[in-house]
A and B are shown apart, each in its own frame.
Chain A
Amino acid sequence: MLSMASKFRCPGCGYVYDEAQGDDHEGYPPGFAFAELPEGFVCPDCSVRYKEDFLQDDPA
Chain B
Amino acid sequence: MHLYTLTSADGHVESYTDRKRYWWMLSLVNPLIPLLGVGGHLFSANELWLVVPLLLMFVLGPLFDWLFGEDENNPPEVLVPQLEDDRYYRILTYLTVPLHYITFLCVAVWVGTQSLSWWGFLTLTVAVGFADGFAINTGHELGHKRTKIETWLAKIVLAVPAYGHFWIEHNRGHHRDVATPQDPASARMGESIYKFARREIPGAFHRAWMIEHERLCRKGVPVWSLHNEVLQSYLITIVLQVGLIAAFGWIMLPFLLVHNFFSWWVLTSANYIEHYGLLRATQADGKFERCQPHHSWNANHKYSNLLLFHLQRHSDHHANPTRRYQSLRHFEDLPSLPSGYYGMYIIAYFPSLWFKMLDPRLLALPHINGDLSKINIDPDAKQHIYAKYGE
User: CB-CB < 8 A to B216: which residues of A?
Assistant: 27
CB closest chain-A residue, reference B173: A47
Residue contact B215 to A26, C-beta cutoff 8 Å: yes
Q: What string of 1s and 0s marks CB contacts (under 8 Å) between B198-238 and chain A?
A: 00000000000000000111111000000000000000000
Size class of the contact patch on chain B: 10 to 19
Contact yes or no, A27 B320, CB < 8 A = no
Q: Cβ of B290 and Cβ of A49 under 8 Å apart?
A: yes
Q: Find out whether the CB atom of B215 lies under 8 angstroms from the CB atom of A46.
A: no
A contacts, CB < 8 Å to B: 12-13, 24-28, 42, 44-50, 53
| Chain B residues, Cβ within 8 Å of A27 | 215-220
Q: List 27 A-B contacts (CB under 8 A).
A: A25-B215, A26-B215, A26-B218, A27-B216, A27-B217, A27-B218, A27-B219, A27-B220, A28-B218, A42-B172, A44-B172, A45-B146, A45-B321, A45-B322, A46-B320, A46-B322, A47-B171, A47-B172, A47-B176, A47-B321, A48-B175, A48-B290, A48-B319, A48-B320, A48-B321, A49-B290, A50-B287
Can you name the residue of chain A whose Cβ is closest to the Cβ of B288? A50
What residue in chain B is nearest A53 (Cβ atoms)?
B290
Q: How far is the CB of B207 from chain A (nearest CB, A)?
A: 12
Q: Is B270 an interface residue (CB 8 A)?
A: no
Of all chain B residues, the one with the shortest Cβ separation from A12 is B320
Q: Provide the residues of chain A in CB contact with B33, threshold 8 Å.
A: none
Shortest C-beta distance, A35 to chain B (Å), equals 16
- Chain B residue nearest to A28 (CB atoms) is B218
Interchain nearest-CB distance for B135 vs A (Å): 22
Contact partners of A46 in chain B: CB under 8 A: 175, 320-322
Nearest first, the 10 closest Cβ-Cβ pairs linking A and B are A27-B218, A47-B175, A27-B219, A47-B176, A46-B321, A13-B322, A42-B176, A27-B215, A48-B291, A46-B322
